[in-house]
Amino acid sequence: MRHILIAIAVVLLSFSLVHAGNDLVNVKSSHDVKTTVELLLKALNAKGMKVFAVIDHAEGAKKAGNELRPTTLVIFGNPKIGSKLMQCNQTVGIELPMKALIWKDGRGQVWLTYIDPEEIADRHNIKDCGKAVVKKIKKALKNFAAAATKP
């Protein structure tokens, strides 16, 4: 029974990854997961961003009796900016606050991954109303990722 559940989970995960790939921005990190997370938090705090949560998925997996390579999710944002997007279309709130996933792949490479804000805007039909905000978010995410991943 356990093997069947694992097989189903793998199939569902594969399906999700195939369809989710185009909206993800993957940035190669020069650091380990812990350092990349620390550098991201430092950059976010320096810009006055609100960090809502830091979730260590590997630790959660370990507590559940499972193994997972280092994988940490940082949830952050700025309500002044995010609420402007939600004024354009409230459904964008399902995507906010922003998230960055810092993870180690099977080859040992560490990545910082986030969802492209232009894809979020497209998904929620945010056109001219939020264009300037999306551009600002995109630039900020690129800068945060660079601060966390560069040597």
Measured CA to CA in angstroms, residue 38 lies from 5, 30, 43, 85 at distances of: 35, 13, 9, 28
**69 exposure class (CB count in 10 Å sphere: 0-12, 13-18, 19+):** middle
| Local confidence band at 112 (pLDDT 50, 70, 90 cut-offs) | very high
Domain 23-149 class in CATH: alpha beta
For 87-104, how does the pLDDT look when each residue is reduced to its tens digit (9 = 90+)? 999 999 999 999 999 999
Strands (DSSP E) contained in 9-146 are 24-28, 50-56, 71-77, 98-104, 110-115
Q: What are phi and psi of 110, to 5 degrees?
A: -100, 140
| pLDDT at position 21 | 62
Check the CA dihedral 120-126-127-130 and report its sign.
negative
Delimit the domains of the chain by residue range. 23-149
Q: Rounded to whole angstroms, how far apart are CA atoms 51 and 35?
A: 17
For 50-76, how does the pLDDT look when each residue is reduced to its tens digit (9 = 90+)? 999 999 999 999 999 999 999 999 999
Reply yes or no on whether the pLDDT at 121 is more than 70.
Answer: yes
Reply yes or no on whether the pLDDT at 7 is more than 90.
Answer: no
